Amino acid sequence: MTETQNFDKTSLLRLAFKGLTEDELQEMATVSQLCSYPPEHILCREGAYEDIFYIIADGSAVISKNISEEDGERILRIAGKGDLVGEMALIQNAPRSATVRTLTDFTALEMGKKDFETLLSRSPSMALNIIRTTLDRMLSNDQLAIQELQNTNKVLRQLDRNKLEFIQVAAHELRTPLTVLKGYVNLLSTFPAIKETPALGQVMDGITKGADRMHEVVNTMLDATRIGNETLKISAVPVPLKRIFIELSGDFVKAAAERNIELIVEQDPNTPSINADPSLIQKALVHLMVNAIKYTPDGGKVIFRSRPVTLENNAQGVELSVTDTGIGLDAEHHELVFEKFYQVGDVAIHSSGKTSFKGGGPGLGLAIVRGVARAHGGKVWVESSGHDEVNFPGCTFYLQLPIDPPKPLA
């Protein structure tokens, strides 16, 4: 780097810091040096503690940030004449938040933090002006970032819609041949040759179970497209939760017994009936129950509770919860598990049964539960101290619903 002779530092400083007096600009010029760099020179390195800031006199530099190992580096902006880079180093003792690399032959006025601070301590009005300019620049950078985020969100929403449409088409296309297949399997099982040969009967059972499971997955896909749609309308009727609870736990007695899991129902006797869509409420509870059994090892417990509650908006409601003594869930996944297709861990090592320990699934159950909760003006969340396949801390999933769903949705 070299100091370039006869360069008018004050006119560049005037461009960068509006509102400073000529004396203040002169003073600033005395503590700044003009330096030149070739292209591809790193001026600031993300993560490093450096205390120089630059006012670009000539050339341009790219400012980029490392997003993640997967997504690599992202360009934030290209800076040119009159722009400041590395100005955060003047205000806070933090590592560089981005990397700045020269793109062309490059000249900048440089100032060290110490010189800058000495200068500021002599003139509070200058300090104020500089900080104002620096904050203005940071604000306009923020606005650019917000704009970019809004655009990205728009694209993501569209991609999400495309994904839902794809699932819908795929599920419809799979359902027709599956129905044909099930029809023929039923017909085949009536053939005397099959009835009289136990080995063939077992094969037919296997095919029937496989086809039924596929049918369930296809239906879950269709539910996810319908319930994931924000415009879902519900037709509310009185739903006797206490009875639904008993019926539902009855449906799971066999699956739980096969895995030696104890099913416990604890209902507060004051649990009220709610006005809701019974089939949607049932679907949501089934998904929570299947998960609780699926992620609990043999010999564990699943507790199904209901109680009346006052909701956040002071309306009366109910809280339904499913507690298990299973593998638990780390805090980082507590929100994300409610996204469509989100699964924790290696999906490839899942076993295939619906309620077998860590059995597979498309990852749509909890997205459906959240869709049902939202459509009724309620909410769902999970509490767990973390994932642990030795001590099995378990999870509790809570579903809160108002007694009356919000009017516009009903």
Give, as ranges, the residues between 285 and 324 that touch ligand ATP (CB under 6 A).
Answer: 287, 291-292, 295, 324
Binder of residue 32, out of ligand ATP, Mg ion, none (CB less than 5 to 8 A by kind):
none
Check residue 36 for interaction with ligand ATP (CB under 6 A): no
- Inter-axis angle of helices 278-294 and 365-375, to 10 degrees? 150
Is 102 strand, coil or helix? strand
Query: Which is nearer to ligand ATP, 366 or 373 (by Cβ)?
Result: 366
- Residue 295's binding partner among ligand ATP, Mg ion, none (Cβ under 5 to 8 angstroms by kind) is ligand ATP
Residues within the interface to Mg ion (CB under 5 A): 291, 361, 365
Among positions 285, 289, 329, 399, the unique one binding ligand ATP when judged by CB under 6 A: 329
Please identify, using beta-carbon distances, which residue of 277 and 324 lies nearer to ligand ATP: 324
Is residue 220 part of the contact set for ligand ATP (CB under 6 A)? yes
Residue 57: other Cβ atoms inside 10 A: 23
- With CB under 5 to 8 Å by kind, the binding choice for 329 among ligand ATP, Mg ion, none is ligand ATP
**375: helix, coil or strand?**
helix
Pick between residue 91 and residue 344 the one whose CB is nearest to ligand ATP: 344
Q: Out of Mg ion, ligand ATP, none, which partner does residue 214 contact, by CB within 5 to 8 A per kind?
A: none
In sequence order, which residues have a C-beta less than 8 Å from that of residue 192 and are 6 or more positions away? none
CB of 259 to ligand ATP, least distance (A): 14
Torsion of CA 32, 35, 41, 47, to 10 degrees: -10
What single DSSP character describes residue 326?
Answer: S
Burial of 193 (C-beta count, 10 Å sphere; 0-12/13-18/19+): exposed
Residue (of 302, 388, 383) closest to 345 by Cα position: 388
Instruction: Enter the tokens of residue 402.
Output: 């108002």
106-112 and 33-37: which strand pairing? antiparallel
Is the Cβ–Cβ distance between 46 and 26 less than 8 Å?
no
The rounded distance, in Å, linking the Cα atoms of 116 and 314 is 55
Site for ligand ATP in 331-390 (CB under 6 A): 337, 342-344, 361-367
Residue that has been written with the tokens 């790193």 in this structure: 42
Given phi > 0 = left and psi -120 to 50 = alpha, else beta, which region is 394? Answer: left
With CB under 5 to 8 Å by kind, the binding choice for 327 among Mg ion, ligand ATP, none is ligand ATP
Does 100 engage in binding with ligand ATP (CB under 6 A)? no
Nearer to ligand ATP, 43 or 364 (CB): 364
Question: Which residues on adjacent β-strands are paired with residue 106?
Answer: 37
| Closer residue to ligand ATP (CB): 361 or 378 | 361
Residue 213 Cβ vs Mg ion, minimum distance, rounded to whole Å:
13
Residue placing its CB nearer to ligand ATP in the complex, 89 or 288? 288
Closer by beta carbon to ligand ATP, 111 or else 221: 221
Binding residues for ligand ATP, how many (CB under 6 A)?
21
Out of 171, 280, 395, 399, which residue is the one contacting ligand ATP (CB under 6 A)? 395
DSSP lists the bridge partners of residue 399 as: 320, 380
Q: Which among ligand ATP, Mg ion, none contacts residue 375 (Cβ within 5 to 8 A by kind)?
A: none
Q: Which is nearer to ligand ATP, 9 or 294 (CB)?
A: 294
Angle between helices 9-16 and 22-30 (to 10 degrees): 120
Identify what 95 binds: ligand ATP, Mg ion, none; CB under 5 to 8 Å per kind: none
Query: Is residue 385 helix, strand or coil?
Result: coil
Distance between CA atoms of 87 and 338, rounded to whole angstroms?
A: 40
Residues that bind ligand ATP (CB under 6 A): 220, 287, 291-292, 295, 324, 326-327, 329, 337, 342-344, 361-367, 395
